Copies of this chain bind each other. A is one copy, B any other.
Amino acid sequence: MVGNVIVGQSGGPTAVINSSLVGVFKTAKDRGAAKVYGMVHGIQGLLDGRYVDLDEHIRTDLDIELLKRTPSAYLGSCRYKLPEIGENNEVYDNIFKTLYTLNIKNFFYIGGNDSMDTIRKLSDYGKMIGSNIAFMGVPKTIDNDLAVTDHTPGYGSAAKYIGSIVKEVIRDGRVYDAKMVTIIEIMGRNAGWLTGAAALARGEDCEGPDMIYLPEVPMDVDDFLKRIGELQKKKKSVVVAVSEGMKLADGRYVCELTDTVAFTDAFGHRTLTGTARYLADQVAKKYGCKTRAIEFNTLQRCASHIVGRVDITEAFQVGGAAVKAAFEGETGKMIVLKRVSQDPYQCITETYDIHEIANVEKKVPLEWIDMDNVYVMPEFLSYIRPLIQAELSPIMVDGLPRHLYYADKE
């Protein structure tokens, strides 16, 4: 059933999340949707009655091309958790009232596993009250930690960014004829998909990082320091990639070992930052050499100036596939990517029960981490390599990448 459509973006952004938005918008329009609305700041915004008519924002084919290349969630995002069904039905009534008012027949939510929890609850509630609205999840996260799907759109571009920048940082680290240890801190609290992407840097023209520490395995700081010492006997510039979420054997985060106030935010939350700085300080203390701590930071999720074409195309495809499935009667599902061929790489889309995906976290298989737990295995690279292929050049205007502007979101 076509009717009207609403789409929202949720959770942390990626460099290609707007390509999925375009995929939903364009496919819905092409398939006859009268109106395509966008939730402003996701479900949280919708609860406040904040939505826009996307026709007023995406007017031309150039707008579409710009939007694909625009980083961060165009419509704004949220980290809002719906109450359990039965706990507070007022929230659900509120949402469905808005959906009925707008004559919505199809609801799309672009996000990660927390966001899929929203789709799960809304589709369950819709079923309970006999609504005929389709609820579909569109996968997105740089963390690549969604279950069932081969990978998530957004991951490939983040991995491509990390691989590219790690190559540059390794080069930079070799510039002086002096001992130097560079620790690179990469996103991914519990899953090492992004940190492992640092291994992409190793190739004919780059020695690659010397060690890679994934959060799937606890870190032994003394062993780490010993290995640094061994490496320094062989080479002057040592580069190590670590996940921001590295833990010790006792379960504490490595970054908790820092004793500065700088890592507690205004809400008293300990932010996961400082792992690289802590390790670099330990190296400096033990070996007396120059060290650098580099945090890749939010650039991993917003570097739209170097996205992968495979990734941005798949991001569009999962949006389009969600619309097709919903219009053909499916609901309570998420679009998943299925790799049907490795060489040549081919991925198709399928739909999958949202209950099996929401709130589940997919980690790097332990057999893809080497025996010493300081690097990834070739299987990891075989998996990731196709996902970073090809480029979609930014549209450069007056020397800088152009984005689609959204003036009045605040």
Contact = CB atoms under 8 A, between A and B. Distances in A.
Interface string A390-405: 1101001011111111
Most central of A77, A302, A390 by chain B CB within 10 Å: A302
Interface string A276-313: 01100100110111111011011101111110100000
A223 interface: no
Interface in A74-99: 76-79
A399 B160 contact: yes
A176 B76 contact: yes
Interface residues of A, number: 83
Nearest to A72: B171
A197 B409 CA distance: 26
A41 interface: yes
A259 B172 CA distance: 29
A93 B221 CA distance: 48
A237 B410 contact: yes
Interface in A224-281: 235-237, 258-262, 265-267, 277-278, 281
Q: Taking the full assembly, how many copies of this chain does it contain?
A: 2
Given A175-B13, A410-B236, A403 B294 contact: no
Interface in A155-197: 160, 163-165, 167-169, 171-172, 174-177
15 contacts: A13-B175, A71-B172, A72-B168, A77-B175, A164-B305, A164-B400, A164-B401, A261-B281, A262-B278, A266-B285, A266-B291, A267-B290, A292-B298, A305-B306, A389-B399
Nearest 8 interchain pairs by C-beta: A388-B399, A72-B171, A266-B284, A260-B260, A172-B302, A205-B405, A41-B177, A168-B302
